[in-house]
Structure 1
Amino acid sequence: MLVVAVFLTAMLAVAGEDVEAVEAVEAVDAFEVLDPSTLVGQLTVLQLKELIAETMAQALVPLHHNCTDYSETGDCGLVVENGLCGAEEFYARYCCRSCTLAKQIPTYGPHLSLTAKAPISINVTTDLVKYPRGSNVTITCEATGYPTPEVVWFRNYNEISSIGEYEEDTEVLGGILLKTIRSNLIIDNYSVDYSHFQCMAINSEGLAKSSITIYIEDELSVVLLPEVPIMEAKNEVVLDCVATGADVNEVIWFREVELIHNSNEYRIIERRSFEDGLTKIHSKLTILRHKTEDSGSLFTCSAIDRKGGNKEKKACYEESHRCEFKQEYIYRYCCKTCTLMGVLPTYGPHLRGDAEAPLEVSIQTNSTVVPYGGDAELVCMTSGFPGRQSVMWLKKDELIRESNNIHIKHNSACSPLLCEVSASLLIKGIKISDTGKYICRTSNVVGMKDALVLLRSMEDGEIYIDIDY
């Protein structure tokens, strides 16, 4: 009788009925008719058979103790309904009980190890990558995962969400188990030449990142005609330069590195016009009494606006000697200048290049052995382009800050196409607690790079600086 009562109690529990085992014991007697007042006694034989058929399979499934439903959102019913239990292993992990009872997955399997994770997918988009200065820009980040990921924004590798640098509009779009979150980064009056924006999605299962770089579109356009001037000696040579921009202010001419003025050798005539809010300057350079020594000379037209000029063209002019260095990123940024110099052919793979300047970092020291209590100086040397890269010192992945015995000094020397930044770390009165791994980290819009050095104690008490660590 007790066995029957326990069995009926289990079936009713699976069926969702609330019944005490004592009631079932009192209700079942091998020699007596069931009492109609009890819950079991109210069942007809037909109803009892139907209940047994309906709940037997569920009641006898031996679920593993790891097999449960983890979904806080209650989506496991939808997972079963849409037949997703076997689609990915993480569905079976997070909705194990529902999927097992629905017989969409086996009772035992790798899902019980609780190692399967729902991957985080992330994508950052925007309408354009180049905007006119002063535009309103919206960058959208969509991330999907379980549990619902949180989103954090970075600009040039610095976190900006916590300080509210820009407006962020975030909403959860929903989904079955996997939830999608959308975050719009809203930037009003964007006026920075270029910025690297990164979106990071994170939850208890991991993180993922996606990024995009936004540029201010060239505000000045310069056209030089004829593109390949071939003139007969002793004839006058005429070069036309047309500069167009919202704030173009001046056009200047150079022969090699010499600024050209009106003289007995050169005549410059300029005409200005305005159309659709743009200023157009048409500058005509006439080389009077063209001489053979002018052949092969590099003549450059440079347009300057009130903000400082067409930086790319001016940079390529000032750094034209770098065309000889055979650096791919110089060919990309200064294609026209390097072609006019004869370094690059008119056509070639460089026209499809996307090379960036390599971000370089190294650590130097004047002495690799420092006595206990002495001063140790580490100098981190970096170079990169575009922009001025940041340089920081870390120990045990924590930022090093200045203190009584720690002094940090930065120096930089930037040319139009390369920036060199150094950061010296001076440790005064070095002690055992100062030993360990030090990291010099540099980053710009292109990426991030580390250099490592190890300070360790030697048997004689001195400190050894291992820059080849």
Structure 2
Amino acid sequence: MGESKFFLCEVVGDVKDIDWYAPNGEKLLPNRQDILVNRNDESSSTLTIYNANVDNAGIYKCVAKNGDKESQGTVNVKIFQKITFKNAPSPQEFNEGDDADIICDVVSSPPADIIWKHKGSKIQVAKDVRFKILTNNHLQIRGIKKTDEGAYTCEARVMTRGEIDLKIIKVIVNVLPSIRTRQSEMNATADVNQSVMLACDADGFPEPTVTWARNNIVLESDDKYGLNNDGSELIIKDVKKVDEGDYTCIARNKAGEKEEEVSLNVFVQPKITYLVNQTASELEEQITLTCEASGDPTPTITWSFGRRIFTEGEQSLDGNVVVRSHARVSSLTLKYVQFTDAGHYLCTARNSIGQDQQTMYLEVRYAPKIQGSVTVYTWEGNAANISCEVLAHPGASVVWFRDGQQLSSTNTTNVKIYNTPAVSYLEVWYNRDMRAPKLCVEYVMNDITFLRMHSIQCNAKHCLVPA
């Protein structure tokens, strides 16, 4: 095959025409390029086949004619194809564990015998059931292993003419990636400018590439995430609660991909989110103080007032103070508000991560309350000093009366009044020309809430009678 040959047809005796016929019976014309017919002289003709191929094989006839006389001869042309490796690529790649079909397609005529070799030795299929020569002369390796990798020789032989040729095929076995997470679960604290690193290590052949994904979205290096050179370490910057969840480490190579998940738990320090100042009136209404807090784990909320720490439930036998908590909310209820309940209440939210504290102020409005003694004694000729201490909120104004007549707030010869925010002082000097006076005090409080005046008129016991 591929060679050029000519065939001579000689005729004895007189001849007029010498013609050649192809194996299909077609008369060969002299103007063909692949097969040339040439009349050499009166008694001979030549058939030349150029660059022979398998299609040129067959029985060619030489027909000589002279009038009605005819004679013919034949030549049987056989085309022998040299060993040709039509399809035997190198390298050939397979995934570990697959049934590998190593391709080696050989064309020759007659057909060549195929021998497979590995590491210089003929493969003995009878000794290893994993190896098999298929009918198409391909070499099959069942469940190919990484150790099967290497150079394989496909050797073709045509025994009838002693022809031999070979092709070395490199076999590569790719190994599916394997992943090992350094920690399957990580903990972090939110909102403290903390970064956390998730890591996984991957093996395989070829060396796998590693990527990270969350919710099927591949993560790239940016202001939020950072990746090392081989992608095995993912850094999450400035962790927030929304960063909590599962992150997927994905390793890929030609053999396929493998993935593993790393869970990130994000804990949040307690933070009081709702606590406001409140106002109540003594004995006239119930008041509930509310404190709300966020955090993970869910924080416990406690109340304190000065040195007093409140516990869950009723705080006293009369049930005046009740604390109730549910989830992230705690309430402190005062059923009967007293003026002594006014002040700063401290709400504390705690969990295993930390705590937060805030205070609120409870303002209690109450009517004036007289403090101290209401009767003052002195002797004749001695000055009398009378103090009137009043507790009230809002603050009360104090008015002094004598015999039912209001004393002027401006000082007189023998009566002087001194006022402070909490106490009013009355100073009286004795005057012989004046009859013994009766002095009374009246307290007046403006109540903005109820828009009416509260007045307390002193009775006889509250009057001062000089001795």
Q: TM-score normalized by structure 1?
A: 0.30
Which structure has the greater CA radius of gyration? 2
Q: TM-score normalized by structure 2?
A: 0.30
Bigger strand fraction: 2
Bigger helix fraction: 1
